[in-house]
Amino acid sequence: MLPAMDTLETRELRYFVAVAEELHFGRAAERLGMAQPPLSRAIQQLERRLGVSLLERNRRGARLTGAGEVLLQEGRAALDAAAAAVRRTRRAGGADRPGGPRDRLVLAVKAAASHELLRRLLAAWALEPGCCEIEVLPCGMSEQEELLRDGRADVALMHTPWNSLAGFDSEPLVTEGQVALLPAGHPLAARRSLSLAEIGDVPGLPLARWPTHGTYPPGPGPEIHNQTQLAQLIALGRTVAVAPDSARSWLWAEHAAVPLTDAPAVVTHIAWPPHSRSLPLAALVRTATRL
């Protein structure tokens, strides 16, 4: 029997994703803990089986073809799905914590976002009859999607328009406007309201840049990694930022918040993987939407 032309082993996907990300067979092999020749051969076999060229080999590394781009994206999704299958199955069988509670929900939240909402949600959940333990998993700015996809989290709080809800089930919880965060002494800080255009090109006060999926948008402003860093740079009069209303709760004395008239509203959603049949999850979502 020929080796199943229409199916890909996750091993092959892991190999290809590693090569596609490194664009270098040697480094990819090292990352995979194997030697370079078998990796080269595996990718060649993959290309032959698919009947498609995935990489343009250069003397100096490699470049992805269009089909390679597609396989990188789809392959990551498939690997996430396989990883999720393992994690969720182990959890369902109680194999992750021997003897531990098998009803446990992992909730992914951006560190330092939606404090107040989270507090209220956990309080309401504790009063719920069917409640179970909730493990709060703090994560980076755009990490929730991946955590939900690969099964490390069961449910997440996400914020449109920053997070994409594509591929998940979700319910909106709270809508809030956005404010400009300025140094308290700055002339604009005295204004009652501002527009995005007005803060977009203030001389000497470039707009801070947040990472989205690991990469930063282009611009003159500083690259921000966490909220504390941002707070400091604003207090030092080095930058200005756009944030939801609820950011007021962590402002310093040196900060000022001015409502923005034309910034898109931020909606906090509770989101979870589609087709979930978990009863605790359904109960948590119900609790959240009733807050």
Length of the chain: 291
Q: Which of 59, 192, 277, 290 binds DNA (CB under 7 A)?
A: 59
60 makes contact with DNA (CB under 7 A): yes
Please name every residue paired with 183 in a beta bridge, in sequence order, or none if there are none.
255
Quick one: which H or E segment has residue 197?
helix 196-200
Give min distance, CB of 53 to DNA, in A: 10
149 within 8 A of 167, measured Cβ to Cβ: yes
Nearer to DNA by Cβ, of 54 and 194: the residue is 54
3 binds DNA (CB under 7 A): yes
Q: Pairing mode, if any, of strands 155-160 and 169-176?
A: unpaired
Least Cβ distance, residue 56 to DNA (angstroms): 10
Q: State yes or no: residue 274 binds its own copies (CB under 8 A).
A: yes
Near DNA by CB under 7 A, which window of 38-46, 139-147, 148-156, 196-204? 38-46
For residues 100 to 129, the per-residue mask of contacts with its own copies, x marking binding by CB under 8 A and - elsewhere, is: ------------------------------
The nearest distance, CB 146 to DNA, in angstroms, is: 25
The CA-atom distances, in angstroms, between 92 and each of 10, 104, 130, 273, 281 are 22, 10, 17, 16, 13
Site for DNA in 10-29 (CB under 7 A): 11, 23-26
Q: How far is the CB of 73 from DNA (least distance, A)?
A: 21
Written as one letter, the residue type at 168 is F
**Alpha helices of 23-106 — where are they, by DSSP H?**
25-32, 36-50, 66-93
- The two three-digit tokens of residue 273, written as one number: 């993987």
Q: Which is nearer to its own copies, 84 or 194 (CB)?
A: 84
* Cα 90 to the center of its chain, rounded Å: 23
Residue 13: name its binding partner from its own copies, DNA, none (Cβ under 5 to 8 Å by kind): its own copies
Q: Which is nearer to DNA, 86 or 123 (CB)?
A: 86
Count of C-beta atoms within a 10 Å radius of residue 74: 12
Tokens of 220: 């003159």
Assign 3-state DSSP to the chain and report helix, strand, coil percentages, each to 5: 40, 20, 35
Pick 29 or 54: Cβ nearer its own copies: 54
Applying CB under 8 A, the span of 90-98, 121-129, 199-207, 216-224 interacting with its own copies comes to 90-98
Minimum CB separation of residue 198 from its own copies in Å reads 32
Q: Are 289 and 173 in contact (CB under 8 A)?
A: yes
- For DNA, which stretch binds (CB under 7 A), given 59-67, 69-77, 146-154, 182-190? 59-67
Residue of the chain from 33, 203, 204, 214 that contacts its own copies (CB under 8 A) = 33
H/E stretch holding 109: strand 104-110
Q: Are strands 169-176 and 255-259 parallel, antiparallel or unpaired?
A: unpaired
Q: Is 198 exposed, middle or buried (0-12, 13-18, 19+ CB in 10 A)?
A: middle
Q: Give the interface with its own copies as residue ranges (CB under 8 A).
A: 1, 6-11, 13-14, 33, 50-54, 65-67, 69-71, 73-75, 77-78, 81-86, 88-95, 151, 164, 166-169, 273-275, 277
Q: Give the interface with DNA as residue ranges (CB under 7 A).
A: 3, 11, 23-26, 33-38, 40-45, 57, 59-62
